[in-house]
Structure 1
Amino acid sequence: MVGGTLGPMNGLYVLKPWYAARLGGIRARLVAHDVPPSVITAAGVAFAASAGAVLATVRTGVVAALAVAVLLAARLACANLDGGVARESGRATRFGSVTNEVGDRLAELAVLAGCLAVADAALVAGAALAATLPSWVALAGAAAGARRPQSGPFGKTERCVLVVLLALTGWALWLVVLAAGSVITALVRLAVVRREVS
Structure 2
Amino acid sequence: MNGLYALKPWYADKLSGVRAALARREVSPDTLTLAGVVCAAGAALTLAIVPSGYAAPLVALLLAARLAFANLDGALARATGRTTRRGALLNELGDRAADLVVLAGFLPLAPLWLVATAGLAATLPSWVSLAGVAAGADRLNGGPVGKTERCALVVVAAASGWTVPVLAVLAAGSALTAALRLGRLWRELDGGAR
- Name the TM-score, length of structure 1 as normaliser: 0.94
* Percent identity of equivalent pairs: 60
Distance 2:183 2:139 in 1: 12
Matched, 1:106 2:103: no
Q: 1:22 aligns with which of 11, 14, 26?
A: 14
Matched, 1:89 2:98: no
Counterpart contact for 1:72–1:160, Cα < 8 Å: yes
**Stretches of 4+ aligned residues off by more than 4 angstroms:** none
1:93-136 per-residue CA deviation (whole Å, 9 max, x = no partner) reads: 12211110000000001100001121111100000000000000
Distance 1:45 1:168 in 2: 22
Q: Closer, same or farther in 2 for the Cα pair 1:90/1:102, shift >3 Å?
A: same
| Alignment partner, residue 6 of structure 1 | none
Counterpart contact for 1:55–1:117, Cα < 8 Å: no
Unaligned runs of 5+ in 2: none
| TM-fit CA distance, 1:151 | 4.3
Distance 2:62 2:141 in 1: 23
Bigger drift between 133-142 and 168-177 goes to: 168-177
| Alignment partner, residue 164 of structure 1 | 155
Q: 1:143 aligns with which of 122, 134, 137?
A: 134
Unaligned runs of 5+ in 1: 1-8
Counterpart of 1:182 in structure 2: which amino acid? S
| TM-fit CA distance, 1:195 | 1.6
1:136-192 per-residue CA deviation (whole Å, 9 max, x = no partner) reads: 000000001011112421110000010001111111100000000000000000011
| TM-fit CA distance, 1:25 | 0.4
SS in 2 for 1:179: helix
Counterpart of 1:26 in structure 2: which amino acid? V
Counterpart of 2:170 in structure 1: which amino acid? L
- Name the TM-score, length of structure 2 as normaliser: 0.96
Counterpart of 1:68 in structure 2: which amino acid? V
Aligned-residue RMSD, C-alpha? 0.7
Alignment of 1:1-198 (within 5 A): 9-61=1-53, 63-171=54-162, 172-198=164-190
SS in 2 for 1:117: coil
SS in 1 for 2:66: helix
